[in-house]
Amino acid sequence: MGERIRLQVARYRPEQESEATFDEYEVPCPKDWVVLDGLNHIKDRIDGTLAYRWSCRMGICGSCGMTVNGEPKLTCATFLADYAPGPVRVEPLRNFPVIRDLVVDIGDFMRKLVKIKPWIVRQAEKPLADGEYLQTPQELEEFKQYSMCINCMLCYAACPIYGLDPKFLGPAAIALAQRYNLDNRDDGAGARMATLSEHEGIWGCTFVGECTQVCPKHVDPAGAIQRYKLSAAVESMKSFFLPRGA
Amino acid sequence: MINRHPEPILWMLFSAGGVVSAMLMPALLLLFGVAYPLGWLAPPSHETMVAVLGNPLTGLVLFGLCVLSLFHFAHRFRHTLYDGLQIKHLNEVIALVSYGSAIVGSVIAAYLLWQVS
Amino acid sequence: MSEGHVYTAYHPRWLRQRISTYWWLEKPAYLAFILREASCVFVAWFVVYLLLLVDAVSGGAAAYAQFLAWSADAPILLLNVVSFLFVVFHAVTFFDAAPQAMVVHVGQTRVPGHLVLAGHYAAWAAVSVFVAWLLASGQ
């Protein structure tokens, strides 16, 4: 295992060029360094013009998602030593427009997230005097997995359908919709159904399954989507054959 | 409230076809496509085939197998052309050809299975 | 951003990468996905083959014998061997997806995924054995 490793970092400087280029840097490679440490070393000591996002550096904020050697990864959770002797290719997250260097625009996801109403929707609000909602451990288990999403967008980068058709709602948005649909405090399944049942809602998904493979929080968005397909299809049948009072 | 497009029912047919074809086809294909032609096992006699195929239950199961498998094929084929080869501009034509051939195949299956019973 | 956007020093042009037509060759997982989807062609071939068999049986003992002889021809045999492999691949991948897609509850408890998977394989084995027995019971 070497003391240093080469990083090939994608650069995009829109004021100078219209295509991405690669700059190479050599950074130290102690065994506890992650790719993010390498990028911070570049920014602090070699090339301060490098632009990238990061925050918590511990895998909970979802800011530092990038493409490392072709795979979508959280750079704070990807050890440099695993790629020794290198070089390591660091590119911006796939399937999103690149603003500069390693920074992508995730506005599309943010708009889709709002559309699926990621909050508890109640038919009738419970007054404070009635106390808290009580939930058994089994009821929590139903949706807990989907609540683990940190909005890191690795699933969108891995999804070929999203890459080919940016109108597709996408794995994280649907998994988050399911997080609320399956929460027994929520009455909003009907309100979310219109967005989810669109042609580019859940029906755009062909179960490639890569989203589940790359998710750092084991959310299993692919499973969430397939489960919802069945309930949505049944609802569709009901609304077709029994238009009222289904 | 639910947008009017046929994806839900097409997906249900696809799923059902996937299960039915997965359950029945490997055994049937191994026997009639590989084992009998290679002589690993003796093929059933003509009388046995007539008896088995003549049974209305067999006819029903095989008809279900054919129809669902054809719709499974149509749905998957259409999506693969759309996503894999990105032939988006021909989307309507591909859908028509895929599901159309599934319908035609189902009619032929119904006729042939009726004829043998 | 929309095509009509005016780019400024504070909002320059974003870079949008084109997806290659051969995107599915870039990762083994993508290739496996496309092969899985391609298996549907062989599923459709088996329907055709089955209907040809049914037609031959309707046509009488001679037609049936001719079908069996034709099925032993090298090109058809090769096609069926390849089809068999793809159909098995389809079955295995379809069953693998079942625990993710089907969440079964018995009362309050959730049936673990590997039991859902085992149930599918058990049904597959049972159906296959039944089919083989049905056809072998009269020679």
Residue B3: pLDDT band with limits 50, 70, 90: low
Asked whether the bond before A85 is cis by omega within 30 degrees of 0, the reply is yes
CB contact under 8 A, A207 and C103: no
The token pair at A169 is: 């709602």
Phi, psi of B6 (to 5 degrees): -85, 5
CB contact under 8 A, B36 and C68: yes
**Selected residues 51-110 of chain B with any CB under 8 Å from a CB in chain C:** 51-53, 62, 65-66, 69-70, 72-73, 76-77, 79-80, 84-86, 105, 108-109
Q: State the Rg of chain C over Cα.
A: 24
Please name the member of C24, C123, C132 whose beta carbon is closest to the beta carbon of B27.
C132
Please name the member of A138, A206, A213 whose beta carbon is closest to the beta carbon of C29.
A213
CB contact under 8 A, B2 and A239: yes
Please name the member of C13, C33, C101 whose beta carbon is closest to the beta carbon of A226.
C101
ipTM of predicted assembly, 2 dp = 0.91
- Check pLDDT > 90 for residue C42: yes
pLDDT in tens, A96-145: 999 999 999 999 999 999 999 999 999 988 899 999 999 999 899 999 99
Give me the pLDDT at residue B85, please.
Answer: 72
Nearest Cα of chain C lies from the Cα of A55 at a distance, in angstroms, of 23
Nearest Cα of chain C lies from the Cα of B90 at a distance, in angstroms, of 15
Locate all alpha helices (DSSP H) within chain A, ordered by sequence. 35-41, 107-115, 137-144, 154-158, 160-164, 171-181, 189-196, 210-214, 221-241
At a CB cut-off of 8 Å and minimum separation 6, what does B104 contact? none
Question: Count of alpha carbons within 13 Å of A3, Cβ hemisphere only?
Answer: 0
Chain B contact present for C20, CB below 8 A:
no
| pTM of the complete model | 0.91
Nearest Cα of chain C lies from the Cα of B16 at a distance, in angstroms, of 11
CB contact under 8 A, A138 and C108: yes
Q: Where are the domains of chain B?
A: 51-117
- Check pLDDT > 50 for residue C76: yes
pLDDT in tens, A64-88: 999 999 999 999 999 999 998 889 9
Residue C136: pLDDT band with limits 50, 70, 90: confident
Residue of B nearest to A239 (CA): B2
Chain C contact present for A20, CB below 8 A:
yes
Q: Could you tell me which residues are beta bridge partners of residue A23?
A: A9
The token pair at B53 is: 């195929």
Chain B contact present for C95, CB below 8 A:
yes
Give me the pLDDT at residue B99, please.
Answer: 92
At a CB cut-off of 8 Å and minimum separation 6, what does A177 contact? A116, A117, A118, A192, A195, A196, A228
**Selected residues 99-138 of chain A with any CB under 8 Å from a CB in chain C:** 99-100, 105, 138
CB contact under 8 A, A236 and B2: yes
- Check pLDDT > 50 for residue C1: no
Strands (E), chain C: 105-106, 109-110
Nearest Cα of chain B lies from the Cα of A163 at a distance, in angstroms, of 10
pLDDT in tens, A24-79: 999 999 999 999 999 999 999 999 999 999 999 999 999 999 999 999 999 999 99
Nearest Cα of chain A lies from the Cα of C12 at a distance, in angstroms, of 6
Q: Which chain C residues are Cβ-neighbours of A19 within 8 angstroms?
A: 15
pLDDT in tens, B35-71: 999 989 888 889 999 999 988 999 999 999 999 999 9
Residue of B nearest to C67 (CA): B37
pLDDT in tens, A167-211: 999 999 999 999 999 999 999 998 999 899 888 889 999 999 999
Q: Which domains does chain A have, with CATH numbers?
A: 4-104 (3.10.20.30), 107-241 (1.10.1060.10)
- Check pLDDT > 80 for residue A1: no
Question: Between A and C, how many residue pairs show a Cβ–Cβ distance under 8 A?
Answer: 67
Residue A241 DSSP SS3: helix
Q: Which chain C residues are Cβ-neighbours of B45 within 8 angstroms?
A: 138-139
Please name the member of B3, B8, B80 whose beta carbon is closest to the beta carbon of A194.
B3
